[in-house]
Structure formats: C-alpha cells, structure tokens
C-alpha cells in the first residue's frame, strides 16, 4: 500500500488518504454521496449499538418516519424552512419512460409530475411534528420520547468523506413534553448522554456548551452542543441537542389539555449525532501509520500474526493460537488470526497498523519455546514480550488501559491547546501561531462575533456549560463580560 | 378502543384496522409512505437483529451505498431498468428558493436543475455493481459478501400498510463470486436462511421454491422465493434470493483474473426481505381480538396486571410482583408490570390482547393468599392458575411451548389448505369455494400461466424445491408434466 502523507505535511490530505486506505469509505459515482465500506460500517455499527442502548436506557423508543417531506410542511415553520429547506434534493416526478427516440435511454415522464414537490428530508422536525398532531390530545399522551435512525440529505457544495456529505446517516431524537422545564431537562440530559458516549467510547474529550444565537439550529430556542478538538487544533461539533420551545407545536398545531383542563401547545426537543462522528474518531487519535481505534469501538480488538518459515512451524503455531483465541473470545474480545500464507509478517504488521487494531500479538518458533508472545500496542507503538500463561487476563486489562490512555492523550492535547487570551491582538497571534481553542471574553453581541469571524475565520464554538464566572472585558468592543467563551476554527 | 371488524366479515378491513389499533403503523401525510410507530418498530428491530445475526454467521458484512442512483446507471442493465426504473421517485433539482411573489412560499429554483436526474433507489444492484467494478481485480478479491439495511422507494399506485408502501425498509444482500457454482450455492444458502428465520422466529411455515420466468426478478437468471399462506388462503412472498449470473458484471464491467490467469466476469447474487414481513407476521397469526405475536418477536413477552380495590392491596401486590418480575427478567424474559391506576383490569386485558402479548399474569388478593397467579395465553386464550413457586421456570417453558404451538397451528392451516387438483374445472372450483394454495400440473409455458392468471387471478407462486417428481398432464394444454407447482392468489 502507498504510504500516508504525514499529518505535519498536509493534515487534510492525510485524512482523505487515511479514510480510503483504511477501507473506511470512498466517494461514489453520485455527487457528494459516499460508500461506507464494511470496515468503516462495522465501526459505525458499534457506535450505533452503544448509542441505541443509551437512548433506550433513558426511556426512548425507536420509530420510523417518511423519507419525503411535502414542500408545504417546510413552509409551516419559517425559521426551519430558512435553515434547511433550501439546499436539498427535490423530487418533482414519479416516473421515467423509455425515450421514444432511443429505446436504450430513459427520460423523465412529463405526465408524471407531482402536484406538490417532495423534499428528501434534511431533518425530520416538520414531518414528525405534523404526525405528533394526531398523537397528542391530553397531558397523559406526553411525553413522547422517540428516536429515529435514518439517512438524510443536504445538498452540500464542498463535501468530504464522513465530515460533510450530501447523504449521511444519523439518528434524530424528537420529543414532546407538557412543560418547558421538562423539555429543557430532556435537552440537557441528551447532551450529557452524547458527551458520555464520545468521551467514554470514542475516547474523545469534549466541551459541553451552548451555541450563540447566530450558531444555533434554525427553529431552536437554545442549542446545546459538544465540541471536540482535532489534532490540527480545529473544532468539530460532535453532537447537538435542541430546545425547540413551542415553535414546532405552533407551526403544526400540536395542542393538549393539561392537568388543569387548559389547552396548551406542546414543548419540543430534538437531538442528533451522525456519521460525522466517524470523522471525529479518525482525526482525534490516528497517526502517520494509520488509524488508532479505541478498543471499545474496534471491530477487531486483537490480531494474531504467526511468524513461520514452513508449514510445520505454522501447524505448531496454529495449535497454540487456537487456544489463545478461544480464551480471548470467551472474555468477549474480538480476535482475528491472520495465518494467510500470501503476505509476509511485515506486510501484515503495516496493514493492521493502518486499520488501527489496538493489540497485535506476534508468535514464532522462539516464542513457542519460551511459552511467550510479542504484544504490540497500536496506540503508542510499544512492544513487549509476555508469557502465554494468563495471557487472556493480561490482554483484557491491557485493552482497558489502552482505552484510558488514548483518552488521556487526547485530553492532555486538548488542555494544552486551550489558550486564555485577553486582547484581540493576542487572540489573532495565538490563532495564527498556535491554533487550538481560545478562551476569551465576548460582549454577547452578534456584531462582535461576526467581526471576529470575518477577521480570523474563528467562530464561537460554545459558551461552556461548566463555566466559572469571571469578570472581564470583551475583545473588540471592550464591554463588560462575566464569562469566557470558546473560539476556534472549525470543521 | 373500537372493536375490530371480524376476519370472517372483511379480512382486508380487519387487517387495516388491526395495524392501526395495535399501534404498529399509520399512513403519513406523504402519499403511500407509512409511519412505523414505536410498537411496530420494536417488532421490526427484533426481526432485524436476528436476521443480521444470521447474515453475519454466514460470513456477510454490512456496508452502506448511496440513496440516489444516476439515471444512466439504470440504463446499463436493460432488464433491471425495465423492471425497476420506471415507477420511481425522480430528483430533478437541488434547491428551493423563496417565491418572489410570496415570501411565505418556497418554489423550486429553476437554476438548480441537475445535469443528470437522480433516481431514489428502488433497489441497489446498479449503484452497487458500479462500485464493485473498482473492488475486483483478482479472484483473491472474491467473494464479496455484503448486506445493506436501507430504505427504498417504488412508486406504487395502490398502497397498504407494510404490504405495499411507496417507501419501505429492507435489507439487500449483494454478493460477487468467482464461479457460477459458488453464486448458485450462495443464492440457495440465503433462501434457506430466510426460511429458517420465517419458520423458527416468525412461526410462519413457508414453501421454498423457484419463480417461473414471468414471475422472477428483472435481471435475474433464477429467483428463489419463500411463500407463506395468510389466514384468507392468499399467498405472501416473504423473501427472495436471486442468482443474477453475469448480467450485472457485464453491464458494469466487473472483471477479474481467475486462478488460471484468464479474465472473467464476476457472478452475482442478491437477496432481500422487507417490512412486508410485518404484514406476513400480522396476517398469519392474529385473530379478531388483535395481534398474536410469537414470543421470540414480542417486544413484551409477559404483562402483569394487578387486581386491586385500594392502595393497600396494590402495595402488597407490588411487593410480590417486583420479585416475580426480577426473576423473569433474569431469565431474559421481557416483562411489563402495568400498575397504572387509571385503567380497569378489563381494559388492560383487552389492550394487551390487542397488542398480542404472549402471556398475561393477573394477580389479586386471593392469589396472594393462595400464593398463586392466573396465567393467560394470548395464542389460544386459555387461562389457568399456577403456584408462585418456580413460576419463572414455568413461564420460560410456556413461552417455548407457545412459540411451537403458534407454528404448529399455522402449519396445520397451511397443510389443510393446499389442495391437489388435476383438472382445470376442479382448479377453478377449489379456488373459488375453498381458496388456499393449489398444487397442480403445468406445461411449463408462459402462455398457460398467463391464461390461468387472466381467468382466475391465481399465479404460479413457485415450483417447490422439495418437489416429488410425478407424471401428470397440465391443466389447460394437457401436455405432459413431471411435477406439480403451487398456484394461488397473492398479496
């Protein structure tokens, strides 16, 4: 395989090459749409499985709503329409027919024009709230706690595998509540669920916060987010949870009789994460040799490579490995034994480094003699020899250590790259020379935010939830501020 | 809730009412598209989980391919285009804009017309085989054993919840092989996987067979199917597996170097089941009181209803039930304890009968005294009193018995409704008076098949795989035949 471009040389190129070479995804023949290959999809499946478990644990059920949204439903919620219904795939016809001039060709049948155009969902608030209308009459019908796993389409002009694609996979939670307080509680609960998943499973530290008015979701009263730092110091929004207040209930007339017998509009939340998380996972940990996967999301946790000169040696190694493999698997560890005789061990080592397999065991005739095995860690590239005795227990513990170590490394990097600055000069200097996140005072106006964005391309990523109050003056206007916010360039 | 129409009165109406009243699905505001509600989706999730396990066990991996198929890809495989690319949703534009005459309205932006129209996938052979082209060079790259869980769209004129909807959920396996024999083996393997699932999990007996040329999949050399019998005697095609020979490899130029160094086209299969299986499940077992779910697919396997007059009694029952529930759950049984005090026991009994919960336990003060509980089976509506001691073991066994009994009942019904006939007169009489499946000789021509279809609306459902050879003469032409085939009216 071709060597990856180094991160230091061209971070963006490194990422693009890695996604393709590690067999995660590739561009398809359809503009901006990707093919998620089996190895990439296996990681996404592990993410889905854990997220789905967490959603159900917190009382949510899955359901499925239509792919298409009639144009008129989008018009109902004005801000949502502005934010989402513009760059989207529009279905205008429902039939093709054979071209009368060329029977090999198909053409759109002009007689099959839809009365009302259908939008391929860019998000499902409109279709879901138009459905909830019939589900809600009394406070007894609330809350509705529903999640959907689905594909969505947003017509992006510049696309990048996983990070920004025309079609992507995601989950979208859509809940309805009887009170504002309950909806806010749900919104906050879900951002914590996301943070917990991203930190503990993806081993990516995040900052939980609120979006400013200019950055929040169209139609939301408040958008909570988690922001992760990539190795180039840029921010990646990894998940959002929106308090939608009564905006959608009003747009779609979702009313209920409360305990006191009064008619009220329902309160809404929505929250989502997408295949973009794959991009975050890849960019947060991987290195110039390839992927680095946290054990909890690795489709293969341990790969075993035999070192042999002839079939006799291989047969002896096979015997020992079958036993190791069985023991590891009985502990729930996923193991691949690669005893293919077409590729040399060196090739295999490079291949599994590229694929990010957390632990590699290599075993040859010497190891058999010594009843030992070479254990190599993917994350820090260290190697050591371990006795075969109790190897399963050792590996089980080592996987946990690696999971923690990958998180700690990323957390240290994040901490090292959050810089407090107090003047705009310093802000620009740090952004240019060091990058990363900048913690600074802001006067709370969209004007200052916009000016900084225009000057530097950095935006306010969030107002952190766990923010210490601190008196200060804002970067440009010099107005009083009571807390710092996080600025960064972002994906 | 409203009483269901009786099956004997109007089977079709009974089905439609049941799907809605049992909270499985409903029609959406989008023509022909359904909303799958949480209870229905929970059943579909259980189906998916088991099918996915079986696919992985047989060596398949999941992946994801684009929702859109450029029109030109459809034209490449002529038969496929004829069969699938006609009644479909066509994306022609990628942007809406605000109507200059009415800022509340959105209109299709004429400047955002696509150069090439995109079809919302009705099936993915074309997009997938155009991708495989780049994945296959040598016989070492084969087989490719991939499955995809996805939504697909076929523009149906007459739709019915689960049975025929414009958008539906399904899985589609797409495999590529080095030899014809291997592809045929795969095609057959997967129809057995489906039959095994439908019989052992859905408790629906099926006949495995081959489709005739007129009924097979567009672009397939051979279509294998499983045919289930519904309670009205009509057939429902529950799954298909296609041997596609080299048709798609030739259309998309998927070639490889074989072991002998020669260039060959790859051999293909595809196979799928869809949310249509939900329709089969509902129609095969349910009765005039509601759903009957086989325990292996029931989201709630046991419901416990307390019978009480006051809070004191409820508190005592709660105590005992928490213990029963914990014991059942430790055996992996899903239990719901409905101690809501808004609805009377009679209402709850009807509700869980409607929802098809396999076992209902009712427990009141008398039962507490006697250390017993009333156990009611949903499938045969029998009740009995059981001691609390070892109740968990008893219930665990009973769930297995119910699973078997539901299958046996369906199997007996199927056997009783397959009629052998030897003349066309008899054929028409049986079809009209008794219905069900008819086993009869056929001369092998599309003409006789078509004539029978025109006369009676019955089609050849399949040529059974496990067919005893038997000399006979065909129904209309009187030509010699060596085996019987299965005729029926179908969904």
The pLDDT tens digits of the residues spanning B434-447 come to: 999 999 999 999 99
| DSSP type of residue B5 | P
User: What is the pLDDT at residue A1?
Assistant: 60
User: What is the pLDDT at residue A79?
Assistant: 74
| Residue B86: C-alpha distances to residues B40, B155, B160, B413 (Å) | 30, 9, 20, 38
The answer to whether the Cα torsion of B458, B459, B465, B470 is positive or negative is positive
- The two tokens of residue A156 are 């992006």
Helix boundaries (H) for A275-379: 276-285, 311-330, 345-354, 365-370
> A86, B97: Cβ pair inside 8 Å?
yes
CA–CA separation, B10 vs A181, rounded Å?
48
**Residue B136 φ then ψ, to 5°:** -120, 120
CA–CA separation, A243 vs A251, rounded Å?
15
> A35, B146: Cβ pair inside 8 Å?
no
User: What is the pLDDT at residue B147?
Assistant: 98
Q: Which residue of B has its CA nearest to A166?
A: B66
Confidence grade of residue A86 (pLDDT, cut at 50, 70, 90)? confident
The pLDDT tens digits of the residues spanning B296-325 come to: 999 999 999 999 999 999 999 999 999 999
Half-sphere exposure of B2 (CA within 13 A, CB side): 8
Question: B60 with B173: CB under 8 angstroms?
Answer: yes
Check pLDDT > 80 for residue A83. no
| Distance between B439 CA and the closest CA of chain A, angstroms | 38
Chain B residues inside the 8 Å CB shell of A36: 63-64
| DSSP type of residue A393 | H
| DSSP type of residue B84 | H
B300 in contact with A, Cβ within 8 Å: no
The pLDDT tens digits of the residues spanning A169-226 come to: 999 999 999 999 999 999 999 999 999 999 999 999 999 999 999 999 888 999 999 9
The pLDDT tens digits of the residues spanning A263-292 come to: 999 999 999 999 999 999 999 999 999 999
Q: Averaged over A152-175, what is the pLDDT?
A: 96
User: What is the pLDDT at residue A219?
Assistant: 84
**Which DSSP helix (H) or strand (E) runs through B224?**
strand B222-229
User: What is the pLDDT at residue B104?
Assistant: 84
Mutation pick from B62, B65, B94 vs chain A, by most beta carbons of A within 10 Å, is B94
CA–CA separation, B45 vs B34, rounded Å?
16
Interface of A with B in 152-181 (CB under 8 A): 153, 155, 167, 169
User: What is the pLDDT at residue A123?
Assistant: 94
CA–CA separation, B82 vs B251, rounded Å?
14
Check pLDDT > 90 for residue A240. yes
Q: Give the DSSP per-residue string, A424-446.
A: HHHHHHHHHHT-SEEEEE--S-H
**Residue owning tokens 């620009």:** A428
Check pLDDT > 70 for residue A97. yes
Q: Please name which of A228, A273, A192, A198 lies closest in space to residue A488, comparing C-alpha atoms.
A: A228
> B91, A120: Cβ pair inside 8 Å?
yes
Q: Averaged over B463-473, what is the pLDDT?
A: 94
The pLDDT tens digits of the residues spanning A38-60 come to: 999 999 999 999 999 999 999 99
| Residue B385: C-alpha distances to residues A223, B337, B360, B432 (Å) | 55, 18, 12, 45
| Distance between B210 CA and the closest CA of chain A, angstroms | 30
Question: pLDDT averaged over chain B?
Answer: 96
B258: three-class secondary structure by DSSP:
coil
Q: Please name which of B413, B414, B430 lies closest in space to residue B422, comparing C-alpha atoms.
A: B430
Question: A228 with A197: CB under 8 angstroms?
Answer: no
Q: Averaged over B362-378, what is the pLDDT?
A: 97
**Residue owning tokens 């901490």:** A415
Q: Give the DSSP per-residue string, A164-232.
A: B-SEEEEEEEEEEESSHHHHHHHHHHHHHHHHHHHHHTS---EEEEE--TTTSPTT-SEEEEEEEE-TT
Write the residue in B35, B81, B91 that is nearest to A131 by C-beta: B35
User: Which residues have CB under 8 Å from B4's CB, separation 6+?
Assistant: B14, B17, B18, B21, B288, B289, B290, B354
Query: Is the omega angle on the peptide bond into residue A143 within 30 degrees of 0, that is, cis?
Result: yes
**Residue B74 φ then ψ, to 5°:** -70, -35
User: Which residues have CB under 8 Å from A89's CB, separation 6+?
Assistant: A119, A120, A153, A155, A166, B68, B91, B93, B94, B118
- The two tokens of residue A128 are 């879901």
| Distance between B487 CA and the closest CA of chain A, angstroms | 32
A45 in contact with B, Cβ within 8 Å: yes
> B91, A96: Cβ pair inside 8 Å?
no
Check pLDDT > 90 for residue B338. yes
Interface of B with A in 119-138 (CB under 8 A): 119-120, 127, 130-131, 134
Question: B365 with B308: CB under 8 angstroms?
Answer: yes
CATH numbers and ranges of domains, chain A: 11-285 (3.30.930.10), 302-398 (3.40.50.800), 418-488 (3.30.110.30)
CB under 8 Å, gap of 24 or more: what pairs does A237-240 form?
A237/A461, A237/A490, A237/A491, A238/A194, A238/A198, A238/A204, A238/A206, A238/A273, A238/A276, A238/A277, A238/A280, A239/A191, A239/A194, A239/A195, A239/A198, A239/A271, A239/A272, A239/A273, A239/A277, A240/A191, A240/A211, A240/A271, A240/A272
Check pLDDT > 90 for residue B187. yes
Strand B302-306 relative to strand B335-337, pairing: parallel
Q: Angle at CA B254, nearest 5°, toward B248 and B257?
A: 135
Interface of B with A in 65-94 (CB under 8 A): 65-71, 73-75, 78, 81, 85-94
| DSSP type of residue A2 | P
- Other Cβ atoms closer than 10 A to B134: 11
Give me Rg for the CA atoms of chain A: 26
Question: B227 with B237: CB under 8 angstroms?
Answer: yes
**Which DSSP helix (H) or strand (E) runs through B191?**
helix B180-200
Q: Please name which of A40, A21, A362 lies closest in space to residue A169, comparing C-alpha atoms.
A: A40
**Residue owning tokens 């999941």:** B62
Q: Averaged over A93-98, what is the pLDDT?
A: 94
User: What is the pLDDT at residue A82?
Assistant: 73
User: Which residues have CB under 8 Å from A71's CB, separation 6+?
Assistant: A85, A116, A117, A118, A119, B96, B106
Check pLDDT > 80 for residue B81. no
Give me Rg for the CA atoms of chain B: 26
Q: Please name which of B103, B27, B96 lies closest in space to residue A117, comparing C-alpha atoms.
A: B96
Half-sphere exposure of B455 (CA within 13 A, CB side): 16
Check pLDDT > 80 for residue A84. no
Chain B residues inside the 8 Å CB shell of A62: 38, 41-42, 45
Confidence grade of residue B467 (pLDDT, cut at 50, 70, 90)? confident
Question: A296 with A403: CB under 8 angstroms?
Answer: yes
Q: Please name which of B282, B339, B331, B263 lies closest in space to residue B307, comparing C-alpha atoms.
A: B339
**Residue owning tokens 């007169």:** B425
**Residue owning tokens 């479909």:** B88
User: Which residues have CB under 8 Å from B10's CB, separation 6+?
Assistant: none
Q: Quick one: how far is CA A346 from the chain centroid?
A: 33
**Interface predicted TM-score of the whole assembly (ipTM), two decimals:** 0.96
Q: Please name which of B173, B171, B185, B176 lies closest in space to residue B133, comparing C-alpha atoms.
A: B176
The pLDDT tens digits of the residues spanning B411-426 come to: 999 999 999 999 999 9
**Residue owning tokens 């017509």:** A155
- The two tokens of residue B385 are 């009193």
Q: Which residue of A has its CA nearest to B147?
A: A38
> B29, A118: Cβ pair inside 8 Å?
no
CA–CA separation, A329 vs A301, rounded Å?
10
Question: A62 with B45: CB under 8 angstroms?
Answer: yes
Check pLDDT > 80 for residue B53. yes
> A92, B92: Cβ pair inside 8 Å?
yes
Q: Report if pTM > 0.95.
A: yes
User: Which residues have CB under 8 Å from A426's CB, separation 6+?
Assistant: none
User: Which residues have CB under 8 Å from B8's CB, separation 6+?
Assistant: none
User: What is the pLDDT at residue B79?
Assistant: 74
Query: Is the omega angle on the peptide bond into residue B332 within 30 degrees of 0, that is, cis?
Result: no
B488: three-class secondary structure by DSSP:
strand
The pLDDT tens digits of the residues spanning A314-348 come to: 999 999 999 999 999 999 999 999 999 889 999 99
Confidence grade of residue B103 (pLDDT, cut at 50, 70, 90)? confident
Question: pLDDT averaged over chain A?
Answer: 96
Helix boundaries (H) for B305-433: 311-330, 345-354, 365-370, 391-416, 424-433
Confidence grade of residue B1 (pLDDT, cut at 50, 70, 90)? low
User: What is the pLDDT at residue B75?
Assistant: 85
**Residue B99 φ then ψ, to 5°:** -65, 120
User: What is the pLDDT at residue B330?
Assistant: 97
């Amino acid at each position: 395989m071709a060597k990856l471009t180094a991160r230091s040389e061209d971070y963006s190129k490194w990422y693009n090459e890695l996604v393709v070479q590690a067999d995660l995804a590739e561009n398809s023949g359809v503009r901006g749409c990707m093919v998620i290959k089996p190895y990439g999809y296996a990681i996404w499946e592990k993410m889905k499985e854990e997220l789905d478990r967490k959603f159900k644990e917190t009382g949510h059920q899955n359901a499925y709503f239509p792919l298409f949204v009639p144009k008129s439903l989008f018009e109902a919620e004005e801000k949502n329409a502005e934010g989402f219904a513009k760059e989207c795939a529009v279905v205008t016809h429902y039939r093709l027919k054979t071209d009368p001039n060329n029977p090999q060709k198909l053409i759109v049948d002009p007689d099959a024009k839809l009365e009302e155009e259908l939008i391929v969902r860019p998000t499902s608030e409109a279709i879901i709230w138009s459905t909830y209308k019939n589900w809600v009459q009394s406070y007894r019908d609330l809350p509705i706690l529903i999640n959907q796993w689905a594909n969505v389409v947003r017509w992006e002009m510049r696309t990048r595998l996983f990070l920004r694609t025309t079609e992507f996979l995601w989950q979208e939670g859509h809940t309805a509540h009887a009170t504002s307080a309950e909806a806010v509680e749900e919104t906050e609960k879900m951002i914590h669920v996301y943070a917990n998943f991203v930190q503990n499973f993806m081993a990516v530290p995040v900052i939980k916060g609120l979006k400013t008015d200019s950055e929040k979701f169209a139609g939301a009263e408040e958008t909570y987010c988690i922001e992760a730092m990539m190795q180039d110091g840029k921010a990646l929004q990894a998940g959002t949870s929106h308090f939608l207040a009564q905006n959608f209930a009003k747009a779609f007339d979702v009313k209920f009789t409360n305990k006191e017998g009064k008619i009220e509009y329902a309160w809404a939340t929505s929250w989502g994460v997408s295949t973009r998380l794959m991009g975050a996972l890849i960019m947060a940990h991987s290195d110039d040799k390839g992927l680095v996967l946290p054990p909890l999301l690795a489709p293969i946790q341990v790969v075993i490579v035999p070192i042999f000169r002839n079939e006799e040696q291989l047969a002896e190694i096979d015997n020992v490995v079958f036993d190791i493999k069985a023991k590891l698997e009985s502990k729930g560890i996923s193991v691949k034994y690669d005893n293919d005789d077409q590729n040399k061990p060196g090739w295999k080592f490079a291949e599994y480094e590229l694929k990010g397999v957390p632990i590699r065991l290599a075993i040859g005739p010497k190891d058999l003699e010594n009843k030992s095995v070479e254990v190599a860690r993917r994350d820090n590239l260290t190697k050591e020899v371990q006795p075969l005795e109790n190897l399963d227990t050792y590996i089980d513990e080592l996987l946990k250590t690696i999971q923690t170590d990958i998180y700690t490394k990323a957390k240290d990097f994040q901490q090292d790259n959050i810089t407090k600055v107090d003047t705009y000069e310093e802000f620009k200097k740090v952004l240019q020379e060091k990058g990363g996140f900048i913690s600074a005072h802001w006067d709370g106006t969209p004007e200052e935010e916009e000016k900084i964005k225009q000057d530097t391309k950095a935006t306010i990523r969030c107002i952190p939830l766990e923010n210490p109050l601190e008196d200060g003056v804002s970067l440009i206007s010099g107005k009083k501020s009571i807390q710092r916010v996080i600025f960064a360039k972002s994906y």
